[in-house]
Chain A
Amino acid sequence: MYPSGEVFTVIPLGDIVPYLSTVNAVILGVLIAVLLLPILSRTDIYVEVDHRRPKIKAKIVTPREDRIKAALALTSTLASVGVVTTGDVFNFTLFLSLLGMSNMGLIGTTVGDDFALECAFHYGLMCLIASLPLFGGAALILASTGTLSLHELMKLPRGAGGWTLTYGKALLTAGVLGEAGVGPFYAVKVDSFRRIWGRYAFVIHLTTLLTFSRFMEILSLLP
C-alpha cells in the first residue's frame, strides 16, 4: 500500500518507473491549473500609487514582454511535475535541483531591481550549498539499502538500513529545506507578490509547497 493512496498508472520507464497515485494526481491537477492561469491571462495592468507626493503610475504589460518569466515558470512547473510523479530517490533530487534553479531565476527576474538580483544570488548560493546534503542523502540511502527505487524501498522491512539510513534521511531533509524550502522566503523578501510580475511569483510558492507534500511521502516510504 502506497502512502499516497491507490496507484492509478505506472509508466515502466527503465528502472525509474514513475507512478501516479490519488494524492499525487490531485497535486498534478493543481499544478497544471496554476500554470494555465498566467498563460490564459492575456494582459496585465500594473498600477503604482505614491502617497507622499500624489502620483499614480500605470503600466500595461503585454504577453510579449514576459516571455522569459513564462519560460521560467514553465520550467519550474515541469520540474515539480517530475518531482511529484517520479519513482526514484535520485531522480527526485535532480528534479528538485532544477526546481531550485528555475525559482532562483524567477526571483531574480520578477521584480527587476538590484535587490532582487542580490536575493536571487543568495538563493543560488543556498541551492549550491544544499546540493551536498541532497545528493549526499541520496548516496547514503543507496549505500544503506542497495537500491534507489521507491517501489523496492517500500518492500524492505522496518529498520533495514540501520543508522546509515537515518543519517541519510536527515541529510535529505536538510537538502530539501535548502533547495526548495527557502524559496518562498526570498520571494517574500523582495516583495514580488505586489510588484509587477506578481502572477509568476505565485508559481514559486505553489511548487515548493507541493514538493514538500511529496517529500513527506518519500520519508514515510523509506524503511
Chain B
Amino acid sequence: MQLVPATVPELTVRMYHAAVAVGLAAGLIATADILADRNPLNRLTMTDAVEIGALALLASVGTDLAECLILPGLVVGLAELMATSEVLIARHSDPRSLPRFDPLDMEVLRTAPTALMIGLALYGVLLTGFTGGAVAGTGAAFYLFSRVNRPRYEEWRGMESLSGLGWALWVIGFSLFFLHPRYWLLALLLAGTGGILVKVGPKLSLFGYVMGYDVRVGAGDVPER
C-alpha cells in the first residue's frame, strides 16, 4: 500500500521511526521521574513532559490531518492538567500557608514584555491564518499577564486605528487581485496581513481599555513605572 507521495524524500520517511522512538522515550523518562518523585507538585509538573511526548508522536505523522489533531490533543492535555491541579489545590488548600512575595524590581521585567509582545504580534501577522492569530494572541496575552507594565488608556488609544489600517490593507489586496492579477503574491500577503490585523487590532485596544480601567480604579499593589 503506497501511502507516502513520491515527492517526499526518502530521508523524511525514514525519520518517522526515529521520531516515534524519541516521543516514546520522552514519555518513558518522564514517567520514570513521576514514579521516583514523591512530591505531588513535581509529579504534576512532569506530566507536562509526557504530554509533549504525545504531541511529538502526533506531529511526527506530518500530514494536514495530523496538524489538525495536534490542537485538540494540546487542549485536552491542558484541560486534564487544570482539572488535576484543581484537585491538588482542594487537597492542600490552606489560605494561611500560601506564600507571599514582595514584587521584584528588575529592569528586564519592565522592558522585556513589550519587546516580546511586539515581536510575537509582528511574527503572527506575517504568518497569517489560524497559526498567526494564535501567535499574535499569545504575545498579547503574555503582555497582559506580565502585570509590571500597565500603560494608561490615553497612551494606548492609537491602537484602535490599527484595525482600520488592517482593513485598508485588506481592501488594497483584494482589489489588486482584480486589477493586476500578475501581482497575486503581493495581493495575497496584503490581504492575509490585513485580515489578521483587523482581528488583532480590536483585541489589543480592548486590552488597553481593560488595563486603563484597572489602573484608574486602582489595582493596589501594581508598582509604578
Q: How many residues of B contact A (CB 8 A)?
A: 39
Contact A139 B47 (CB under 8 A): no
For A146-187 the 0/1 string (1 means CB < 8 A from B) is 101000000000001000000000000000000000000000
Query: Given A100-B80, A139-B66 in contact, is the A108-B24 Cβ separation under 8 Å?
Result: no
Contact B31 A129 (CB under 8 A): yes
| List of A residues within 8 angstroms of B84 by Cβ | 104, 121, 124-125, 127-128
Among B20, B40, B81, residue most surrounded by chain A Cβ atoms (within 10 Å):
B20
Query: Given A128-B50, A129-B47 in contact, is the A108-B80 Cβ separation under 8 Å?
Result: no
For B107-128 the 0/1 string (1 means CB < 8 A from A) is 0000000000000000000000
Query: Given A94-B72, A104-B83, A125-B44 in contact, is the A131-B50 Cβ separation under 8 Å?
Result: yes
Contact A101 B1 (CB under 8 A): no
Q: Which of these binds chain B: A45-53, A55-63, A112-120? A: A112-120
How many chain A residues sit at the interface, stated as a range, is 20 to 34
Interface residue? A92 (CB, 8 A): no
* Cβ-neighbour of A128 out of B40, B57, B69, B77 (below 8 A): B77
Nearest chain B CB to A116's CB is how many angstroms away?
9
Interface residue? A84 (CB, 8 A): no
| List of A residues within 8 angstroms of B81 by Cβ | 128
Contact A117 B54 (CB under 8 A): no
Complex alpha-carbon distance, A78 and B27, angstroms: 30
Number of A-B contacts (CB under 8 A): 106
* Cβ-neighbour of A132 out of B1, B57, B69, B83 (below 8 A): B57
| List of A residues within 8 angstroms of B31 by Cβ | 129
* Cβ-neighbour of B65 out of A94, A97, A142 (below 8 A): A142
Among B24, B51, B72, B83, residue most surrounded by chain A Cβ atoms (within 10 Å):
B83
Output the nearest chain A residue to B90 by Cβ-Cβ distance.
Answer: A117
Contact A135 B54 (CB under 8 A): yes
Within 8 A of A (CB), among B62-107: 63, 65-66, 69, 72-73, 76-77, 79-81, 83-84, 87-88, 90-91
Nearest chain A CB to B146's CB is how many angstroms away?
28
Contact B77 A104 (CB under 8 A): no
Interface residue? B23 (CB, 8 A): yes
Interface residue? A136 (CB, 8 A): yes
Query: Given A139-B61, A143-B61 in contact, is the A124-B83 Cβ separation under 8 Å?
Result: yes
Interface residue? A87 (CB, 8 A): no
Query: Given A90-B69, A121-B40, A139-B69 in contact, is the A131-B76 Cβ separation under 8 Å?
Result: yes
Query: Given A139-B60, A139-B66, A160-B1 in contact, is the A128-B91 Cβ separation under 8 Å?
Result: no
Known: A136-B58, A139-B60, A143-B61. 18 other contacts (CB 8 A): A90-B69, A90-B72, A94-B72, A98-B76, A101-B83, A105-B83, A121-B40, A124-B80, A127-B80, A127-B84, A128-B47, A128-B84, A131-B77, A135-B57, A136-B54, A142-B65, A143-B60, A145-B3
